[in-house]
Structure 1
Amino acid sequence: MNSPAEKIAITVNTLLYIIQKSGGICDFHKVFKILYFADQKHLSRYGSAITDDTYIAMANGPVPSMAYDILKSLRGEGLFTSQKEQFTPYFELQINKHTVKAKKSPDLDYLSESEMRCIDESIEENYHLKFSDLTEKSHDTAWQKAVFNSEIDLLDVAKCGGAGNDMIEYIKESCENRLAVFE
């Protein structure tokens, strides 16, 4: 299991990768939807999420909680407000404060080849979509089953990505093993 610092580093480098592959500047909504659909792919194919972030069912679709808090910190908002200086070397907000520019290249040691492949596919499929189309596409059964402003079940995300019963069982067991306390 990754430490909180490792989870932050993975998330920062995943965001940098998405933004860099999207031309160096991208709005929050598009970044989050690209990550969501990449996570669906990675879960269904390999049984693990890319960043291990928690998706929240918000009005415009699933939002990765930690990723959103990292980017909100640049505006002086959210859980990481006091850590804003930790993220300013990597990201710069644009005028509208909902668009972010990558200031550095991602450290690819934080991403596997399979994760980059799923992100690349998601960018190819989703980057060209308008805000309303991405929102509608992300209002899938995983989002619909969740309580508004609450966590979306990871198994539902995997199912929306096409995970079969064997993969769902594998993901379920992996989650249980991570939560188990060994004495």
Structure 2
Amino acid sequence: MTFNKEKMKQVIHYIVHKCQDKDNFGKTVLYKLMYFSDFNHYEIYETSITDETYIKRENGPVPSSFDKCCNELEEEYKIDNEKKPVLSYYRYHYFSLKDPDINLLSNNERKVIDNVIEKLSSMNARSISDYSHGDKPWRVAEFTKPLDPEFVFYRDDEYSVRVYED
């Protein structure tokens, strides 16, 4: 697997563009929508969308190249974010400055991303983090270590998106 930074940027921009009007849409929700998009695609098609490495963190999976990709998207005037203080942390709300270029995304990849957005994008940061903690790849990984996408084939029914034959 070779990480595809341009494709990763298109996935980020696409999700931001589709979710920017949701009040709950911040960095944590974006992380989890990306994770479930990549890992659900892996379960269904046995390939990742971006070949991104996701790291096990306390609040769930985190894409390792996220900050670099977001910074580039901001420098390209494609997305921006508002950083607001909330209690003891900052909340990042992302929004799109132009329509995303999705020429690197296949129809199947967009379909998987759209299904993840439809199913999970209304969750707040705490709910989607808690939900991600139940997914097998996160559960079996060690903290601060990469998640192994192969564990999607051992998901509980609540997380599984592939139709398996008996």
Length-normalised TM-score, structure 1: 0.72
Structure 2: gaps of 5 or more residues: 85-90
Identity, % of aligned pairs? 26
User: What CA deviation, in whole Å up to 9, does each residue of 1:95-146 have, x standing for no partner?
Assistant: 3262222222221211111111011110111111122210111002211211
Name the SS for the 2:99 alignment partner: coil
The residue that corresponds to 1:57 in the other structure is 56
Structure 1: 5+ residue runs without aligned partners? 74-83, 167-183
Alignment of 1:93-104 (within 5 A): 93-96=81-84, 98-104=92-98
Matched to 2:144, the amino acid is N
- Bigger Cα Rg: 1
Partner residue, 1:152: 147
Query: Contact between 2:28 and 2:125, CA under 8 Å: does it hold in 1?
Result: yes
Structure richer in helix, relative to its length: 1
The separation in 1 between residues aligned to 2:40 and 2:63, in whole angstroms, is: 15
CA distance in 1, matches of 2:55, 2:115: 23
- Partners in 1 of 2:149 and 2:67 — Cα distance? 18
Compute the RMSD of aligned alpha carbons. 2.6
| Aligned residue runs from structure 1 range 14-33, under 5 A | 14-23=11-20, 26-33=25-32
What is the CA distance between 1:39 and its match in structure 2? 1.9
1:70 corresponds to:
69
CA deviations on 1:13-72 (whole Å, 9 max, x unpaired) are: 11011011113673111111111112232111111111110010011101111124433x
How many pairs does the alignment contain? 152
8 Å Cα contact 2:55-2:147 kept in structure 1: yes
More strand by share: 2
SS at match of 1:98: strand
